[in-house]
Amino acid sequence: MNMIAAILFFVAFVYAGIIRLRDLGQRERCLRSVTECLLHIRNSIDRTNAALPELFSLLSQQCTGQAGAFFEMLKNETARIGEKSFTEIWCGVIPTVFPELLETEHDALSRLGSILGRCDCQTQVREINNCEAVFNSALGIFRQDLPQRKKLTLGLAATAGAFAAILLI
């Protein structure tokens, strides 16, 4: 009976490690989605300088995944611009669509909400480029560390599971 419990404990710990690996994959997808959003916004502002609600409506149809969801929520929320400021709308949508962002990344993206639609086209593009640099750097560092994190996560999960199994035997 103890042997079955030990095996179940080991499997449970390894499964917890696999769940953590999935979370790491979601963070990578989140960072890619943010960079995709920033790229689309920058290109659209640079080329067309359209009004933000029109821009979000167009981008919500073009993008998929988290980027599409981000633009869809912005499109829906910009209808309430009289009730809320654009900055409040922008900052409210970010944690809903991109919950995997770290605080510094969230802050960098939030600051962009106070620039969009309020400054000239060149200033907006420059600020978007700055924000893109932050996220490209974060994505590069994350991807560089990802193999190590995967090994560490599975190794720790298996070690903890083996330790729990040994204690039960």
Confidence (pLDDT) at 127: 93
pLDDT more than 70, % of the chain = 99
- pLDDT value, residue 169: 77
- Cα-Cα end-to-end distance for the chain: 9
pLDDT, tens digit (0-9, with 9 covering 90-100), for 15-45 = 999 999 898 889 899 999 999 999 988 988 8
Q: Residue 167: pLDDT above 90?
A: no
The pLDDT assigned to 143 comes to: 92
User: How far apart (Å, rounded) are the C-alpha atoms in residues 122 and 111?
Assistant: 16
Mean pLDDT, the chain, as a whole number? Answer: 89
pLDDT tens, residue by residue, 136-148: 999 999 999 989 9
- Label residue 79 by pLDDT band (50, 70, 90): confident
pTM flag (> 0.75): yes
Task: Please report the pLDDT score of residue 134 as a whole number.
Answer: 92
Residue 19: CB atoms within 10 Å: 11
Q: Please report the pLDDT score of residue 130 as a whole number.
A: 93
Q: How far is CA 98 from CA 17, 35, 68, 165, in A?
A: 22, 12, 12, 37
Q: What are phi and psi of 57, to 5 degrees?
A: -65, -45
Span 39-68, pLDDT tens digits = 988 988 888 877 888 888 888 888 888 889
Cα separation, 11 vs 14, in Å, equals 5
Task: Write down the pLDDT at residue 165.
Answer: 84
Q: Does residue 116 have a pLDDT over 80? A: yes
